[in-house]
Every structure is written in structure tokens, then in C-alpha cells.
Structure 1
């Protein structure tokens, strides 16, 4: 169980800038590590998510000189959660990340497309979506979740480990797509789950589970703004409270919230 650390920056923009700089430095450090026998690390695995703070950090990465120094052929990108919508839907976390940074790296021949591990998109038409009942939708989400599980295991082994996860936290305390009042936050026998009737639109999602995310070596939350103050206070007051899903967040190394004074006001 990792110790929770709080780092307070003066502004929301500073949180995003610091997140970008820290992520690039951490990737560069890991790629430069000398392992036993003088070998270098073969790969670095990073889990991303959506949210305004994380997307802003990716925007800053796109213009950061450090981005051009990284061997992106050895970096693999995953998603801690995804909105189960069409591949070209603006709500897609992966699409936002591609627009901010990843598509440019691919176009420049620096990041192999195969290193971008997207969760499945919804390929149904509008009529089929509208006609689907919960049983049908749950089965579709479950198969998409199992497909991502298989990819994780194929790439990283039976117990997949992310080197870094860059997370956000909602005002309700959710992280990834693990929401209060939903059973998914307490699931312990899956790596990825489908989420139906999300309280935050869009309603269909896929999410890594709390036990999988807890295997991450470094988990960082970019959490800025007064709207996060109540959730942050509850998360730091207890652990593993389903009413505040981010209280389940854990890591095997660093567990840090990068935040602003107004978000930390109740601590």
C-alpha cells in the first residue's frame, strides 16, 4: 500500500504543465535505466485517461522539447478507461489524446501504431444502439472488456503492470470509470469491466479495475479546482470507501495527487 502524497501548485495550468514535464522525465528516466547486465529497459507502459487536466497535460507535452528526445518505439500507451462510443466520437479519450499528441508522433514515424493500445469502440449504428436492452448492452461491454484483458495479458503477462498511470478524479470522487454507487469499484476478479448507466455522460464505458490499477508502479492524479475539494478531503480521510472510488487508488511505488490550493482547501 503506497503512501498518499499531496503536491499543491498555484494554478490549474501549473498542474497540467507539471504533469507533462514529470511524465516526460519519468519516461526518459525509465528508458535510460541500466538493468542487470547493463541492459536497458525494453519498454515503458503508461496508462492514460480522459479529463480536462490530463488532456491539457498532453497538449503541453506536444510542445515540450523533451518529447523529441524520447524513443517512442519503446513506449506503450494504454487507457485506464474509455467511453464506449464510435471511434470518431469527440468523447473518446483516445481520440483526444491522438489529436493532442499521438497522431503527430505516428505521422513522424516515431511512435508505432501498434504501441497505442486503445479500448474497443462501439461499432453499432444509432438504431441498433437505441434498440438494445441492458442484457444485450452488458454482454457487448463485457466482451469488449475481455478483449482488452486478453491484450493486456498477451503484452504484459498474467499480472499486467503499468509503469505510470496518469489519472483524473471527478467531483464525485470517481477515477477511471469507477463511479460511486456502482459495483465495478469493488470488482476483484477482473482486469477490465464494462460500465453501463454511467452517471456521467456518455453512459457506456470500459474501465480498468481497482486491483489492476493498484499494481501500477507510479500513479499520479492531476486534480485541480474547487469542485474537487470535497472529494479530495474524503479520499484522504479513508481508504477503499465505495462512496468515494478514488479512495481505492493505490500503487506499488508513488501515489501522488497534484492539485491546487482551492482543491486542497478542506485538507
Structure 2
């Protein structure tokens, strides 16, 4: 697995506006969907919450009408352990904003366990989600990464918070150090709601393609710290074991050191 050291190389592209980031993310996703559907007959995509699910609506234009939605398998890099119809649910936000608009089979959309979510059972939800992933690995829907045995999703779309967290891996919390499990959980998230499940760092870094999309001035300090190799920030530990790229708007990139521009 990857190690963390100074001068870690991070590929990035800076766009004028948030809308430009969203359009570029849609194009990137479409091209990879086309590639993997042709190559494997499946496309495994991992989503985040927040603005990213709104940006996915850029795929709903005639330019991408050839998207093979029936071959998509959709997962979440993290999820809030709340009922699936709760406004804080990443699943519900994505369903309302995007999934309800495209013909992805319901059986190909992998929300967290409904019972665990309703009960607020974060540990149980993590266990069940990990079991789901392992089952799909055994069915060859999800590949594994080289000899590590960790699942290798085709594309993971990530975001970063102003504190530098990604998924539900937060600075100063032990979950960032988890190396054995595929999915872990947190019950005291510094960002509400407090109960969440999240992919572990090894799983995140094993994706064939990782796209970190970050927009807004509120993220600029954290972006600068990441590109200065501040590994106290979980997002700085997103490595290019396979392919990782950062899409930034000018506001998010505004405090990057000059050598990174």
C-alpha cells in the first residue's frame, strides 16, 4: 500500500467556476463509464454526498445519452446512519437529485442496511455494507486490487470538507488508521449527524480512478495544506496508487503555493 512522504505528486486541474468543475466531472465520469462497460460489462462507481450529487446532473444532457445506465453499480464512500428517508441520508439526497432521473436498476444501487439505519446501529451498518462488498467481489462485479485483496472500484467521486476530511475520515480520529476492515464506523463525528459508516483508507486508495472535486473559498486553506503535504488532513492521504486527480475551481485553488500552480 502507499506510504506518505513529502513531495507527494498530486495531479490537478483548475477550472474557472464550480459549474466548469461539474461539467468536467460529468465528462470524466461518462468516459470511464464507456470504458468499463465495454471492457467488463459493469461500471462500479462510488459517490459522496454534498454538492457532488447535484453536479452529477450534468450527465442528464443529450451529449451523454449513450450512457449505459443499466450497467452501473452505485455505492457510497460514506453514509450517515439515519433512516433512508431522512433528509441527512446521502442515499436520499442522491435519489432525489440524480438517481430518480436515470434508469439504473434498483438492484444495482447499494444503500446501507435499512434496519441498521433505522435503529442508528452504526457498527451493524458497517458490518453489513462490508459483507455486501465482499459478496459482489465474489460475483466478480467488483474487482480486487493486485495482491492486496482490497476491492477495486472503477471510479470514486470524492469531496473534501474545510477541515480536510474526506468520506467520514476526520482529522484526529482513529478511523483513518484502520487498515484491515473495508468499512468502519464512527459514532462521534465532528460533523453532524454523529453516526456514520465509511470506507477505510486502503479501500479508497485502491479505486482505479479517484476524482477529488473541491469548490469554494471555504476549502482553500485545506487545499493548500494538502498540497503542502500536511498528512494530518485525511485528504492529503489520497494517493496515486492507481490514478488520483483533483478538480478545483479558482476559489478552492486560491491559496495554493506558487510552486503548485
- TM-score with structure 2 length normalisation? 0.86
2:127 matched residue in structure 1:
146
| Runs (4+) off by over 3 Å | none
2:222 matched residue in structure 1:
231
Q: Matches of residues 42-81 of structure 1 in structure 2 within 5 Å?
A: 42-52=41-51, 54-61=52-59, 63-81=60-78
Q: Matches of residues 106-145 of structure 1 in structure 2 within 5 Å?
A: 110-121=103-114, 122-124=117-119, 140-145=121-126
Count how many residue pairs are aligned between Structure 1 and Structure 2: 238
SS of structure 1 residue aligned to 2:34: helix
Asked if residue 214 in structure 1 is aligned to residue 205 in structure 2, the reply is yes
Q: Is the 8 A contact 1:47 1:166 kept in 2?
A: yes
Cα shift readout 1:206-233 (whole Å, capped 9, x = no counterpart): 1001011110010001101111111111
Asked if residue 13 in structure 1 is aligned to residue 19 in structure 2, the reply is yes
The alpha carbon displacement at 1:144 in A equals: 1.1
Distance 2:225 2:46 in 1: 25
- TM-score with structure 1 length normalisation? 0.84
Q: Is the 8 A contact 1:167 1:220 kept in 2?
A: yes
Do the aligned partners of residues 263 and 187 (structure 1) sit closer, same or farther apart at CA in structure 2, a change above 3 Å counting? Answer: same
Asked if residue 96 in structure 1 is aligned to residue 100 in structure 2, the reply is no
The alpha carbon displacement at 1:3 in A equals: 4.2
The alpha carbon displacement at 1:79 in A equals: 0.4
Q: Is the 8 A contact 1:180 1:244 kept in 2?
A: yes
CA RMSD of aligned residues (A): 1.7
